[in-house]
Amino acid sequence: MANFKFDIRSIFTQPVVKISSNMLPHTFRGDRRMSLDISSKVSEIIDHLGELSAVAQKLTKPVTSAQKLRSSENQTVYLMADVNEYDSNVVIGLLKIGTKNLYLFDSIGQTRKVDKVPCILDFYIHDSRQRTGIGKKLFDIMLSEESWIPVKCAVDRPSEKLLNFLKKYYGLENIIPQANKFVLYKGFFDEDGAANRD
């Protein structure tokens, strides 16, 4: 379980918070002293969950760390906690998203430069809580907050688990092959819809 020495309730005033490069929850209100304290705790949480995610995906180093997030203007980390009276120090999920300008192949193999592509960059639910619907809850919160549609997202090096997840909940299965590490699905490009109807 992702436990911490400090009380996470100062960060999680609600079960899901959004963190951007300032390392503060979007809900944060406070003075400079408080912001230093909270941002250092948030950094610890992000580093820890980032490491757990890397281990779960058998990566040699984490995709998500506080240092990386600090230097990325277009990225957001969603953190989810189990905040209740008895179990108040448990962080259970991390979802990192952002926008990127990418060179992509469309459905007929033509190269296109697409700016500000919505990207799923890292996703982790604590091992002890996987396959209980928490990932879906966190992903849906992100989609609603960002006003994103799954088929319009590029997914950075998805694991088998994530490929299954996207297929099960969002019907994503027809991949448009890419030369880079991103996975795109038919429907990403506007004309895919027209092609599918033929």
Give me the residues that bind ligand COA (CB under 6 A), please: 53, 56-57, 123-125, 130-136, 157-159, 161-162, 164-165, 168
157 vs 186, which CB is nearer to ligand COA? 157
CB neighbour class for 155 (10 Å; exposed up to 12, middle 13-18, buried from 19): buried
CB atoms within 10 A of CB 102: 17
Tokens representing 182 are 């991103």
CB of 72 to ligand COA, least distance (A): 17
Tokens representing 113 are 């430069």
* Nearest residue to 130 via CA among 155, 89, 152, 160: 160
CB of 49 to ligand COA, least distance (A): 10
User: Where do the DSSP E strands lie in the chain?
Assistant: 2-3, 16-19, 75-82, 90-105, 111-125, 154-156, 175-176, 182-185
Residue nearest to ligand COA (CB): 135
CB of 88 to ligand COA, least distance (A): 21
22 vs 164, which CB is nearer to ligand COA? 164
133 vs 193, which CB is nearer to ligand COA? 133
13 vs 164, which CB is nearer to ligand COA? 164
CB of 179 to ligand COA, least distance (A): 19
CB of 86 to ligand COA, least distance (A): 22
39 vs 150, which CB is nearer to ligand COA? 150
Contacts of 185 (CB under 8 A, 6+ apart): 150, 151, 166, 172, 173, 174, 175, 176
> Could you give the angle at the alpha carbon of 15 between the alpha carbons of 160 and 128, nearest 5°?
40
CB atoms within 10 A of CB 34: 13
